[in-house]
Copies of this chain bind each other. A is one copy, B any other.
Amino acid sequence: MLLYIYIMAITAEAMSGALAAGRRNMDLFGVAFIAFLTALGGGTVRDIILGNYPISWTQHPPYIYLTISAGLFTMLIARFMQRLNRMFLILDAMGLIAFTIIGCNVALRLEAEYQYSTVVVIMAGMITGIFGGILRDVMCNRTPQVLRHELYASVSLLVALLYLGLKYMGLDENINMLISFIVGLAIRLAAIHWNLSLPVFSYSPGKWK
């Protein structure tokens, strides 16, 4: 189940990357690169930080082909993306949750080798969830959107807390995932619907340190 959602998620992320590349007038290669980076960059950063070698996608070539193809395919259907916006946001939200849960589990699996504490496990989930989008924005020369508005990273944090909490309470894995998905999706969609966001910190006087 998580695998299917993961595949949908990297496809959706790759498409979001391709659109961002299109806004910077990138060429075919740029689109493929940003699509790949958006979809698999979060997991790559997580693996590098946790020392989880070999890095996941290097052992699963189909993910490489899938994300690049999804990116290139997006060029053809970009004109319809506006209309698909709602579906896209739902896929993206499901991806965020799937990435978070997978990231937590990767950190937990390394316990024997490195003994990561719970806060690091949560961060591994969040890095998997949001870092692809951060890398996409850095490569497209923008301040990362995930740091600026909407409940996005916060949803990842809440899902990680909920999932790990239920796991430590010994809940059945499948039921745990189901609950985490429903709650996470509900919060994310509510955030989109009511435009919920965290307080913003604006600072302007003086010169840069």
Contacts and interface: CB of A to CB of B under 8 A. Distances in A.
Interface in A127-159: 134, 138-149, 153-154, 157
24 contacts: A16-B209, A18-B201, A19-B203, A21-B147, A23-B204, A25-B201, A26-B147, A26-B148, A27-B147, A27-B148, A27-B197, A27-B200, A28-B199, A29-B147, A29-B153, A33-B147, A50-B54, A61-B117, A82-B206, A85-B206, A88-B209, A138-B139, A139-B147, A145-B208
Given A24-B143, A29-B157, 7 more contacts: A19-B203, A22-B204, A24-B147, A26-B147, A27-B199, A29-B154, A33-B147
Interface in A79-97: 81-82, 85, 88-89, 92
Contact of A209 (B92, B143, B144): B92
Interface in A29-46: 29-31, 33-34, 44
A164 to B, nearest CB: 14
Nearest to A68: B119
Copies of this chain, how many?
3
A55 B51 contact: yes
A206 B89 CA distance: 14
A25 B49 CA distance: 27
A123 interface: yes
Interface size class of A (residues with CB under 8 A): 35 or more
A198 interface: yes
